[in-house]
Chain A
């Protein structure tokens, strides 16, 4: 439910009482035994999304304005659809995210003050780039130094290994995904 309130900085401003739910992709880190799973923005320098805590935006380029600012790119991002996310660098997790507080709606997505994931699933990034979400879910999660986790389907794991990319360990993807959902107390994304 929303109602038109006013205009701010030349943009129409509405007021609403329900969070917006949008698409989002994350990188994933965790220990070699599949514990300490953490969602991370795909932008390497951005802050971790801690489980069961509200995520609050801040601006790393201009510290004296509140995020999201109309004339900046700061804020917690979500998208209207999946196509924009297929250009994301190294996505490991796909999900639906709730956005609230001040939310700036753009042509293809949103930037918000507060966020928390609502539904999650693991992604083979190579399948996602080539075919979207039509391919089966990944079977493996490769563990790399610095606790980076990379979900991979069987085909892309073989291709990676033939090209000299060898995970230090392989974890079963269904177990990692279940633990991730338990960690953040969210449901599975059914796509």
Chain B
């Protein structure tokens, strides 16, 4: 298929992807406080 000579380059970064179920990831993902990992503590051994 002949689409002729190149004319210009376009760099496209869409805000939302035109694909079902696809989401553009946040540049800086953040954890909600209740989802943040718990501080490390002494491990309990299961009897």
Contacts of B5 in A (CB 8 A): 106-107
Evaluate whether A54 and B19 lie within 8 angstroms (CB atoms) in the complex, with A107-B5, A108-B3, A110-B3 already known: yes
Evaluate whether A5 and B11 lie within 8 angstroms (CB atoms) in the complex, with A52-B20, A54-B17, A88-B1 already known: yes
How many residue pairs link A and B with beta carbons under 8 A? The number is: 107
B36 within 8 A of A: no
Tell me, rounded to whole Å, the shortest Cβ–Cβ distance linking A168 to chain B: 29
Interface size on B, as a range, is 20 to 34
Evaluate whether A107 and B4 lie within 8 angstroms (CB atoms) in the complex, with A54-B22, A118-B18 already known: yes
Closest residue on chain A to residue B11 by CB atoms: A15
Is the beta-carbon distance between A52 and B19 smaller than 8 angstroms?
yes
Is the beta-carbon distance between B19 and A105 smaller than 8 angstroms?
no
Kindly specify which of A30-38, A59-67, A96-104, A137-145 makes contact with the partner chain.
A96-104
Contacts of A154 in B (CB 8 A): none
Is the beta-carbon distance between A102 and B1 smaller than 8 angstroms?
no
Evaluate whether A84 and B14 lie within 8 angstroms (CB atoms) in the complex, with A11-B8, A12-B8 already known: no
**Whole-angstrom distance between the alpha carbons of A85 and B11 in the complex?**
25
Count the A residues whose beta carbon is within 8 Å of the partner chain — how many? 42
Mark interface residues in B3-28 (1 if CB within 8 Å of A CB, else 0). Answer: 11111111111110111111000000
B6, B9, B15, B17 — most chain A CB neighbours (10 Å): B9
Between A and B, 20 residue pairs with Cβ closer than 8 Å are A11-B6, A11-B7, A12-B9, A14-B10, A14-B11, A17-B12, A18-B14, A20-B12, A54-B17, A79-B3, A84-B2, A98-B18, A100-B13, A101-B12, A104-B10, A105-B9, A105-B10, A107-B5, A109-B4, A116-B18
Q: Which residues on B are within 8 Å of A, measured CB to CB?
A: 1-15, 17-22
